[in-house]
């Protein structure tokens, strides 16, 4: 198959048409076999539950080009598990792990020429999502579902890549409530946070940092990633039942332990931002993005010098990336080659 004339090194984090996406329908109690198509639009009933009652959940994972020219995925099973947990909370039909794996592998193979090569700094972003498609007007779960996976080559989520971003503590808006759905990956959470994120971007910040909505006191996460801080040799990250359980965070906690760091997974009082040595964001799109500063009530706390990430954040980033890119052995079994 022909290559592409894409300049992978300058790619933004955005949508680009590729050769195919893959679709599975759940109807009459069974999943279909999955069909690859080049069609970018979806035929959808105007009364579908996804449109009115928010039955929409999604995932994000990445495929990386290795130094040896092969390509590899990072933690497909962890994303499969999470979309099942998301489905359970919105009373949607869970996508079996075997279907999820089949979908990712088939759609990646069908778009092999869009996987950015090693060294480009880009990757192939895989976006699986599931929607309720049956026509309902009463508030109830759809009996039928569409599970679709598309891919698109992407550059860094924050324009600057591994360059520190500024965060602003969000003092008014909350993305998630206790007992709500902040711990799952549903579209509604992102709709709820858009005002905050876009407002902060207009003020020159990369993202907001949400506080818990019970007390406005503990750090939750940002709109598009989990949060961590470094104090001395300790990796500190929020414990909260209204944040997404980040697969990147799970991985980085393991890496930090193996690099000899102490881990604290606990509620973080926002007043502690004055005491951090370094800070970072964690996510599939964000990878590890260093935090330059956190501004709260007009006061900026700075964690970097000369626009450069601190030593611990840099060490974690390098180790994570080396595994994701296949530069080094993966002792954790997180990566798998897609032949």
Annotated catalytic residues are 185
What are the φ/ψ torsions at residue 186 (nearest 5 degrees)? -115, 150
Q: Tell me how many residues contact ligand PLP (CB under 6 A).
A: 13
How large is the greatest C-alpha to C-alpha distance in the chain, in angstroms?
60
By the rule CB under 6 A, 153 interacts with ligand COI: no
Per-residue contact string for residues 233-272; x = within reach of ligand PLP by CB under 6 A: -----------x-xxxx-----------------------
Task: Decide if residue 170 touches ligand PLP (CB under 6 A).
Answer: no
Say how many Å lie between the first and final Cα of the chain, rounded.
Answer: 15
Rule CB under 6 A: say whether 197 interacts with ligand PLP: no
**What is the pattern of x (binds ligand PLP, CB under 6 A) and - over residues 50-69?**
----------x---------
Task: Pick what 247 binds: ligand COI, ligand PLP, none; C-beta below 5 to 8 Å, kind-dependent.
Answer: ligand PLP
Characterize the bridge pairing of strands 165-169 and 287-296: parallel
Let me know how many helices (H) and strands (E) the chain has, helices first: 6, 18
Query: Is 146:25 a contact under the CB 8 Å cutoff?
Result: yes
Number of residues that bind ligand COI (CB under 6 A): 5
Residue 256 CB neighbour total at 10 angstroms: 23
Supply the minimum distance, in Å, between the C-beta of residue 283 and ligand COI.
4
Restricting to residues 60-99, which ones interact with ligand COI according to CB under 6 A?
60
Is residue 100 helix, strand or coil?
Answer: helix
Q: Please tell me whether residue 224 binds ligand PLP under the rule CB under 6 A.
A: yes
Q: Segment contacting ligand PLP (CB under 6 A): 102-110, 114-122, 205-213, 282-290?
A: 282-290
Asked if residue 261 lies in contact with residue 235, where contact means CB atoms within 8 angstroms, the answer is yes
Extract the tokens encoding 105: 């592998």
- With beta carbons less than 8 A apart as the criterion, state whether 131 and 40 touch: no
Distance CA(103)–CA(304), nearest Å, equals 41
Residue 285 near ligand COI by CB under 6 A: yes
| Binding footprint of ligand PLP on the chain (CB under 6 A) | 60, 221, 224-226, 244, 246-249, 282-284
Q: Rule CB under 6 A: which residues touch ligand COI?
A: 60, 224, 283-285
């Amino acid at each position: 198959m022909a290559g592409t004339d894409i300049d992978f090194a300058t790619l933004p984090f955005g949508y680009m048409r590729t050769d195919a996406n893959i679709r599975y329908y759940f109807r009459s109690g069974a999943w279909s076999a999955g069909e690859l198509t080049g069609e970018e639009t979806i035929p959808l009933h105007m009364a579908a539950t996804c449109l009115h009652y928010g039955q929409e959940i999604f995932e994000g994972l990445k495929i990386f080009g290795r130094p040896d020219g092969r390509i590899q995925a990072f933690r497909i099973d962890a994303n499969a598990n999470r979309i099942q947990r998301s489905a359970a909370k919105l009373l949607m039909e869970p996508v079996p792990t075997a279907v999820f794996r089949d979908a990712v592998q088939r759609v990646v193979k069908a778009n092999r020429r869009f996987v950015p090569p090693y060294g480009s700094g880009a990757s192939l972003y895989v976006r699986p999502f599931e929607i309720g498609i049956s026509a309902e007007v009463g508030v109830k779960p759809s009996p039928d579902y569409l599970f679709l996976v598309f891919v698109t080559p992407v550059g860094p989520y924050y324009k600057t890549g591994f360059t520190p971003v500024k965060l602003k503590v969000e003092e008014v808006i909350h993305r998630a409530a206790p007992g709500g759905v902040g711990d799952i990956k549903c579209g509604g959470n992102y709709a709820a946070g858009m005002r905050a994120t876009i407002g902060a971007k207009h003020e020159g910040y990369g993202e907001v940092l949400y506080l818990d909505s019970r007390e406005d006191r503990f750090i939750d996460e940002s709109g598009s990633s989990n949060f961590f801080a470094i104090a001395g040799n300790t990796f500190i990250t929020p414990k909260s039942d209204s944040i997404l359980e980040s697969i990147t965070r799970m991985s980085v906690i393991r890496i930090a332990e193996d690099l000899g760091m102490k881990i604290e997974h606990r509620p973080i009082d926002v007043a502690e931002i004055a005491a951090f040595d370094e800070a970072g964001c964690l996510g599939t799109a964000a990878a590890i993005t260093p935090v330059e500063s956190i501004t709260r009530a007009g006061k900026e706390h700075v964690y970097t010098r000369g626009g450069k990430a601190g030593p611990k954040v840099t060490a974690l980033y390098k180790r994570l990336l080396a595994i994701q890119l296949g530069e080094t052995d993966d002792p954790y079994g997180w990566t798998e080659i897609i032949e």
